Copies of this chain bind each other. A is one copy, B any other.
Amino acid sequence: DLPLVIIAGPCQLEDRDHALMMSEAIREIGRRLDVPVIYKTSYDKANRTSLKGRRGLGLEKSLAIFDEIRRDIGLPVLTDVHSEAQCAEVAPHVDVLQIPAFLCRQTDLLLAAGETGCAINVKKGQFLAPWDMVNVVDKIRSTGNGNVSVCERGASFGYNTLVTDFRSLPIMAEQTGCPVVFDATHSVQQPGGQGGSSGGDRRFVPCLARAAAAVGVAAIFMETHQDPDHAPSDGPNMVPLDQLEGLIATLKRFDGLAKSL
């Protein structure tokens, strides 16, 4: 029942200046609200809906920027990995390795991530039941790495739609024993919903995030951008940066109430 952690950042690492601007802004929000913050950023969007979607700055150029954010901005960094080889290369430069939802059953990736000793946040696949995550976590733990969190980001519900089953939060907590993260922005995604890219509806982020805080979670994950309508990916579901502070303040209050009971 530790206080709520916020994992926030833009969907992709666009360039160094943008990363420093965003991470500094998010750090200041965390300071003002006295909420621990982890900076989320992706060096590569490896599974864009279409080939035309921008993928991010790439691995080589990003690692130095991760170092800079950790050292100069002072925020821990979370990023996602997509292959076994990337795990060992990326781990020294981040605080949390994240396993993408589509890849959450790829055994070798889970093992390679686990073997880095880094903290791991693994997203529940849109095609998995909450109780299926026990097997996913056990794969990582088999490496001796017990520093694992599990993340709800919506389940397939018909076509191009996700639904969040909030029962999954206590089920995953109880069955895996891991801290549970709720990804409030991908949960409002409409996968492939715009033909060549994913849609979403950011208006529902506060609704789902409040619900998660009231149920009780270790962390809430939200992508944010200073100009979501022009962001290179996931714009429809990102929280505008200028609304982030108010939302986190609200979530902190729900978290405080939930954990006081």
Contact with B along A181-206 (1 / 0, CB 8 A): 00000001001100110000101100
Given contacts A51-B107, A132-B49, A170-B207, contact A163 B163 (CB under 8 A): yes
Q: How far is the CB of A232 from chain B (nearest CB, A)?
A: 14
What distance in Å separates the Cβ of A41 from its nearest Cβ neighbour in chain B?
19
Copies of this chain, whole number? 4
Question: Looking at A46, A48, A51, A126, which has the most chain B CB atoms within 10 Å of its CB?
Answer: A51
With an 8 Å Cβ cutoff, the count of chain A residues facing the other chain is: 64
B-contacting residues of A (Cβ < 8 Å)? 46-51, 55, 82-84, 102-103, 105-108, 125-132, 135, 138-139, 142, 155-161, 163-167, 169-170, 188, 191-192, 195-196, 201, 203-204, 207-208, 210-215, 250, 253-254, 257-258, 261
Q: Bound state CA distance, A203 and B191, in angstroms? A: 25
Given A51-B138, A257-B257, A207 and B196 contact (CB-CB distance below 8 Å): no
